Amino acid sequence: MTPIFFLLFAAVAVFSALMVVLQRNPVASALYLVLSFCSLAGLYVLLHAPFLAAVQVIVYAGAIMVLFLFVIMLLNLRKDVEAGVHRTARQLFGWLLGLVLAAQLYLLLRAPWGLGPQGQEPAEAVQAVGNTQAIGLRLYTDYLLPFEVTSIVLLVAIVGAVVLSLRQGKHEGIEEAP
Amino acid sequence: MLDHLYLIPLLPLVGLLVNLALGARLGNRGVGLVGCAAIGAAFVVTALDLAALARLPEAARHVTQTAWTWMQAGGFRADVAFLLDPLSAVMCLVVTFVGFLIHVYSVGYMHGDSGYRRYFIALNLFTFSMLTLVLADNFVLMFVGWEGVGLCSYLLIGHWFERHSAAHAARKAFVVNRIGDFGFLLGIFLLATSLGTVNFHEVFAAAPERWAVGGALATATALLLFLGATGKSAQIPLYVWLPDAMEGPTPVSALIHAATMVTAGVYMVARCHALFELAPAALVTVAVIGAATALFAATIGLVQRDIKRVLAYSTVSQLGYMFLACGVGAYSAGIFHLATHAFFKALLFLGAGSVIHALSGEQDLRRMGGLKGRLPWTHGTMLIACLAIAGIPPFAGFFSKDAILAAAFAGPLRWLYYVGLLTAGLTAFYMFRLLYLTFYGGSRVTEEAEHHLHESPPAMVVPLAVLAVGSALVGLLGIPLLPGADRFGDFLKPVFADLGHLRELAAAAAAGHASATAAVGHAAAAGAHGAAAPGAHHASVGLEVALMAVSVAAGLVGIFVARRLYLLEPGVAQRLAERFQRAYRTLLDKYYVDELYGALVVRPLERLSGWLWRVFDVRVIDGAVDGTGGLVVLGGTILRLFQNGYVGTYAFFLVLGVVILFVSLGGAR
Amino acid sequence: MSWVLGDSVPMTAYITLSAVLFLLGVVGVLVRRNAIIIFMSIELMLNAANLALVTFASFLNQTAGQVFVFFVMAVAAAEVAVGLAIIVNVFRARQTVYVDEVNLLKG
């Protein structure tokens, strides 16, 4: 059964990613991206990472994409006009480079994988405590420092976002970005 | 004391360092004291060393002391090492004794000068360099001293550098000297490459073995060394700096341009006599140039109006005598004349200084006269000096000049003797012209000079007196003919002991060639010098006495003619000058040699330098440097084109970089 | 592709999917001119990387990969906040979100 679900989620993910890139309307792109994230969440579940699947939906689809949509609507963006400087060159070289990269990745990845040593947490042990707890255990012991640093990063991001969106001087209108 | 040879040059060095470091605090009196004390101490050490040397048996009078190893590369070696033998001992004695007197004199003469401290430092530095030059036991160290005295000459000639003429003269001296130094250096290079050593002892032992007599190598080396000597000792063609060097303070002229620095060339030729004997052509060149210069300079000195210029040309002329002596193989006679000349020429300069000082700076002979009574000491001592230089016995100049003339007479080219004789007469003439114009007759002194007219202070007069005693008595060290009376020549004998052997070699080589001149020259020289050795005089005693009489007569003739023209009938000189105006002007304008050099050498060089500056330096070199900068700017301008401000372009290049990276990584895989 | 009928999905499939998603993100960045869309493409790339990480965590039996993804998500969130603030500022100054209309930093 698993392969079927995998193919399903994979197809949806690829299709919606393609739409994100090709759609003219930014709102449409955003929504397709949400779809892509959700299918990725499904894939995470298939990979025995239910916690991350949940976090994916909550954080990415639920917060980040909402932020995107707020900004799109704040700026009142209409359909993209595909004109502008270097339009032909951009399209041509962009796809070309993408294809080259694709070829390279294919060549790199088709060689047999020699998987390294198996990790220290066999599936059964993880099942015993549950995925979330397993992550928690690792997070608050071995990766405590990155954890603390990440919290500071978030603080900086908050401060930065606030500062950047403050109006200088006596302009009127909206004071903060949402 | 012989263990501490290094003290001799070291003491003046210490003196100058003390003055350099503490001079401001010591004040002028202290500076003068330190400067004089340093040289005085060096003199004491020299005297002690000389005495110690004399006590050694003749063959052993050859002491070396190595201070430290300076250069050593492969087989080549040049050390800071000192050699004391009779020749260098005599030179040191002259330098330190006369130097000391002149330092004392300077205390009085330079009193109140704003550059007092600078003066004494340079004077001490000079003495240090000169002593290094004289005591060196190898060519390289000697060259160091050689350059050092050149530098000090520049510093001291240009002591009053705010005067344009002084600065110019200093530069001229330095540059002309440099030309000579170039020749000297080339000579050293030839020696080093050919013989592999620059140590005197080794060179003079190896050269006769390895070099062909009269061959290209020997002749070239000797001539190059002699070129250096003409520069330093102001002979034709490089004498032009010496008269201009009179811009410096008079004690400087006395010390450097009369008694010591200019004698370095003579010392060098005497020291390298082995090399010169191996190159007969070079030796003849030395003699001819010496004689020619002697006569040439004497003729110019006849009509000069500046008291110091007369003395300058006199110095050039007397140096010519010394080279003449060396050129005919009478090296010890040349050194003897060097020593006596140091005394009376220093005395003459210091006396002139005294006169100038008394007249508040007047140097023109036409504005002097009648000073005999006002400056008794100056007059008395200068009279002795003039008698000495004119070759009147029993004063010093007579014995030394006579020795040279006798050697010239017996030498290969007889006409050199006649030139020397004529010069002797002219010398007596112009020196007494100077004496009469300065001290005798009616006073032509200006009003303002008259006001301050006074005899010089003791600091200046005492050295004059001491030098006068020397001028009177030093000659007695070299009395010819009487056995054992030539103390000077005997003392120097060990230095020139190899002359016999060298002359045999030369004669043998000459006999091998079909060269008539060389054969005759060397046979005669060998004969004459066999005669010059003590004990073998007898055959030519009569000749010697006759020659002595002739030279004294020449001197007396010169004195009497001068007396006639400048004392008894003052108008005659003027009328003669008008009658032979062209000749007079040529002499007065020094045969236009400076103008000739200016046109032939100086101005073309200046034009070349100007061209090199404008075209080469500015356009090529600066262009290259600026061009490199320009290239960088160009590179930047090109690279800037990539920065078009569009994020998309940057992202593109980013991904492109990743793709390329994958290529290289993928290759590994 | 024989695994389609089988029990499990081989790792290669997941990795290939991750590569394809990453590719689409790169193309999005290079081709589009709307800054917001570009930003979204970047998020797509980040997610592709997350997928690869989780894949390895799963197949190598360790949770370190998942912890890493956790961090990536946190940083991505921070980045989006700041990035969108910047885009809003640029819009205020230049009245445009198109990156090819903003070239003041042209050297």
For residue B668, is pLDDT > 70?
A: no
In the 8-state DSSP scheme, what is residue B565?
I
Tens-place pLDDT, residues B240-288: 999 999 989 999 999 887 778 888 999 999 999 888 988 888 999 999 9
Interface of A with C in 32-61 (CB under 8 A): 33, 36-37, 40, 43-44, 46-49, 51-52, 55-56, 59-60
CB B648 to CB C107 under 8 A? no
Which chain A residues have a beta carbon less than 8 Å from that of B658?
Answer: 101
Q: How large is the C-alpha radius of gyration of chain B?
A: 30
Q: How confident is the model at residue B519 (pLDDT cuts 50, 70, 90)?
A: very low
pLDDT of residue C81: 94
d(CA A111, CA A17): 26
Q: Which of C20, C26, C100 lies at the smallest CB-CB distance from A84?
A: C100
d(CA B511, CA B493): 27
d(CA B351, CA B253): 12
What's the mean pLDDT when you consider all of chain B?
85
pTM of the shown model: 0.69
Tens-place pLDDT, residues A81-107: 777 667 777 888 888 888 888 888 877
Please tell me whether residue B661 adopts helix, strand or coil conformation: helix
d(CA A109, CA B313): 100
Q: Which amino acid is at B648?
A: G
Tokens representing residue A157 in the block: 């991001």
CB B646 to CB C26 under 8 A? no
Please tell me whether residue A71 adopts helix, strand or coil conformation: helix
Which chain B residues have a beta carbon less than 8 Å from that of A86?
Answer: 646, 648-649
Peptide bond into B394 cis (omega under 30): yes
What does B426-447 look like in DSSP terms, one character per residue? HHHHHHHHHHHHHHSSS----H
Q: What sign does the dihedral B322-B326-B328-B329 (CA atoms) show? A: positive
User: Is the pLDDT higher at A125 or at B357?
Assistant: B357
Please report where in the chains the tokens 């000082």 appear, as a residue: B357
Q: Which of C26, C39, C82 lies at the smallest CB-CB distance from A161?
A: C82
For residue C53, the number of C-alpha atoms closer than 13 Å in the C-beta half-sphere is 18
Please tell me which chains touch C, using 3 or more CB pairs under 8 Å as the contact test.
Answer: A, B
Query: B72: which strand partners?
Result: B77
Chain C interface test: which of A34, A36, A45, A52 (most C C-beta within 10 Å): A52
Which chain A residues have a beta carbon less than 8 Å from that of C97?
Answer: 75, 77
For residue A138, is pLDDT > 50?
A: yes
Touching check for C27 and chain A: CB below 8 Å?
yes
Helix (H) or strand (E) holding B64: strand B63-73
Nearest CA in chain A to B664: A104
CB A101 to CB B658 under 8 A? yes
- What are the C-alpha distances in Å from B649 to residues A56, B375, B641? 32, 98, 11
Tens-place pLDDT, residues B186-245: 999 998 888 888 888 888 888 888 887 778 888 899 999 999 999 999 898 899 999 999
Which chain B residues have a beta carbon less than 8 Å from that of C33?
Answer: 648
For residues B553 and B419, is the Cβ–Cβ distance under 8 A?
Answer: no
Q: What ipTM was assigned to the predicted interfaces of this complex?
A: 0.91
- What are the C-alpha distances in Å from B312 to residues B97, B297, B646, B647? 21, 9, 83, 84
Q: Kindly list the residues of chain C whose beta carbon comes within 8 Å of any beta carbon in chain B.
A: 26, 29-30, 33, 38, 99-100, 102-107
For residue C42, is pLDDT > 90?
A: yes
CB A104 to CB B648 under 8 A? no
pLDDT of residue B533: 40
Which chain C residues have a beta carbon less than 8 Å from that of B646?
Answer: 99-100, 102-103
CATH of region C2-101: 1.10.287.3510
For residue B449, is pLDDT > 80?
A: no
CB A86 to CB B652 under 8 A? no
d(CA A8, CA A37): 14
Tokens representing residue A96 in the block: 């070309």
What does B544-588 look like in DSSP terms, one character per residue? HHHHHHHHHHHHHHHHHHHIIIIII-HHHHHHHHHHTHHHHHHHH
pLDDT of residue B303: 86
Nearest CA to B220 out of B184, B179, B187 is that of B187
Please give the distance of CA B517 from its chain centroid, rounded to a whole number. Answer: 31
